[in-house]
């Protein structure tokens, strides 16, 4: 039952688009009639798009970073010295591990 109504809605949507393009090529003699027709088309489109069409896109959840606890000066200096030693060993060819 749902696919049948979706097919009909697609047909109506196609016809509304064709009618809208024909209005642009053959304008009305009266601006009031043109405004009424365009208003009716807009109302039809609102009904069509709100019934059975794709749901509006949802935003992905926001990323929240974990709170970072800064390292102490002693830990920082120890890590820096370990990295420098590792770099020196790699330059000398003692340690080939990356």
pTM: 0.36
The torsion angles phi and psi of 77, rounded to 5 degrees, stand at -65, -40
Has residue 24 been placed in a domain?
yes
The string of DSSP letters for 27-61 reads --S-HHHHHHHHHHHHHHHHHHHHSSSPPPPPPPP
Q: Is residue 17 part of a domain?
A: yes
Number of domains present in the structure of the chain: 1
Residue 4 is predicted with a pLDDT of: 65
How is residue 93 annotated by DSSP?
Answer: T
- Give me the domain span that covers residue 41: 2-50
> What percent of the chain clears pLDDT 90, i.e. is strictly above it?
12
Helix axes 2-25, 31-50, angle to 10 degrees: 160
């Amino acid at each position: 039952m749902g696919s049948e109504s979706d097919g009909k809605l697609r047909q109506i949507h196609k016809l509304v688009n064709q009618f809208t393009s024909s209005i642009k090529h053959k304008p009305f003699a009266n601006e009031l009639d043109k405004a009424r027709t365009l208003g009716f088309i807009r109302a039809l489109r609102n009904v069509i798009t709100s019934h059975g069409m794709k749901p509006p896109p949802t935003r992905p959840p926001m990323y929240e970073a974990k709170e970072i606890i800064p390292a102490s000066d002693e830990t920082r200096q120890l890590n820096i010295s370990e990295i420098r030693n590792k770099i020196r060993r790699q330059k000398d060819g003692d340690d080939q591990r990356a």
